[in-house]
Amino acid sequence: MAAMREADDWPLPAAANAGAGVLRPGHRLRLLEGGRALFAAMVQAIDRACHFVHVETYIFVFANQALRVAEALERAARRGVEVRLVVDAVGTPEVPAEWQVRFAAAGVQWRHYAPLGRLGLLIPSRWRRLHRKLCVVDGVVGYCGGINLIDDCDDVVLGRLATPRLDYAVEVSGPLLAEMQATMERLWWRLTAVQRAQSRAFGAAWQAWQAARARRDPGLRRWWRAWLRARGAHRPEEGTADTAVVVGARAAVLWRDNVRHRHDIEHAYLRAIARARREVVIANAYFIPGRRLRQALAQAAARGVRVRLLVQGKYERFLQYHAPRAVHVWLLRRGVEIRVYAPSSLHAKVAVVDENWATVGSTNLDPISLLLAREANIVTTDRRFARQLRARLDHLLREAGTPLALDAFQQRPWHERLRDWAAFAVMRAVLFLTGHRY
User: Which residues are known catalytic residues?
Assistant: 131, 133, 138, 347, 349, 354
Tell me the C-alpha distance between 115 and 117, whole Å: 6
Nearest to 397, CA basis, from 331, 323, 357, 343: 343
Tell me the C-alpha distance between 198 and 74, whole Å: 27
Start-to-end CA span in the chain (Å): 40
Tell me the C-alpha distance between 181 and 184, whole Å: 5
Tell me the C-alpha distance between 356 and 4, whole Å: 8
Tell me the C-alpha distance between 15 and 32, whole Å: 28
CA 110 to chain centre: 20
Nearest to 262, CA basis, from 373, 392, 346: 373
Confirm if 39 and 145 have CB atoms less than 8 A apart: no
Burial of 284-296, coded b for 16+ CB within 10 Å and e otherwise, reads bbbbbbbebbbeb
Helices and strands per DSSP (H, E), number in the chain: 14, 17
Cα separations in angstroms, 394 against 10, 56, 283, 365:
22, 30, 10, 20
Nearest to 358, CA basis, from 335, 336, 381: 381
Question: Positive or negative, the Cα torsion across 12, 14, 17, 21?
Answer: negative
Confirm if 163 and 396 have CB atoms less than 8 A apart: no
Q: Calculate ∠ Cα 61-358-139, nearest 5°.
A: 55
Instruction: Tell me the residue ranges of DSSP E strands in 185-270.
Output: 245-256
Q: Bridge-partner residues for 111, per DSSP?
A: 86
Q: Using CA atoms in the order 262, 289, 154, 42, what is the torsion angle rounded to 10 degrees?
A: -40
Say which amino acid occupies 259: V
Backbone angles phi, psi at 406, to 5 degrees: -60, -45
Q: How many other C-beta atoms are found inside a 10 Å radius of the C-beta of residue 11?
A: 16
